Amino acid sequence: DHQDDDQLIDHSALPVVDTKGMRTPAHIQLKLKKLQLQDEQLSTINRNNRLLASKLADIVCSKGLVDHWNQYYLKSLNADKRREELLLVSRQNQGIYQRITSRQSEYRRQLWLEDWQRAERWRDNISRYPRGLAEKGAGQELVNRTEMKSWVKQERKNTRPGV
């Protein structure tokens, strides 16, 4: 126990004589020349890296100086036959088109119109009321007096026996 106390005292005791030595001056501690050389080396390394990166980018973007790619074009074995078939089909289509355009239409508009008018006359003749009554609507006056009179005359004429 007594020995531990002595060790504590020994460690906490300060020497009377300063034995540290002289402090190094600040201009010697900094070593400015060494820092300058390191900066120069870093700048040359960065410059070389940029040059190499630009050269690599040029190589990647360009095809390069040596053309080592062979151009192989696909050649079909039946291209000529397909071309001949295409020409044959196009000639046939042209012939069909010429026949269609040179032909007269079989639809006779005038006959259709006459047939339609005949059908309307028959419908008017067999209808009980004159045509146009249903088209006017329920809220309006159906027929004026002169139309009604002409319709009645026509009805009498049509309903007489022997007419």
CB 124 within 8 A of CB 131: yes
**Given pLDDT bands bounded at 50, 70 and 90, which one contains residue 102?**
very high
Rounded Cα–Cα distance for residues 158 and 126 (Å) = 10
Output the pLDDT for position 48.
98
Phi then psi for residue 142, to 5 deg, are -70, -50
Its pTM stands at 0.28
Output the pLDDT for position 24.
83
Output the pLDDT for position 138.
46
Question: What are the C-alpha distances in Å from 147 to residues 104, 124, 153?
Answer: 45, 15, 10
Of 9-23, 24-38, 137-151, the least confident:
137-151
Of residues 103 and 13, more confidence is placed in: 103
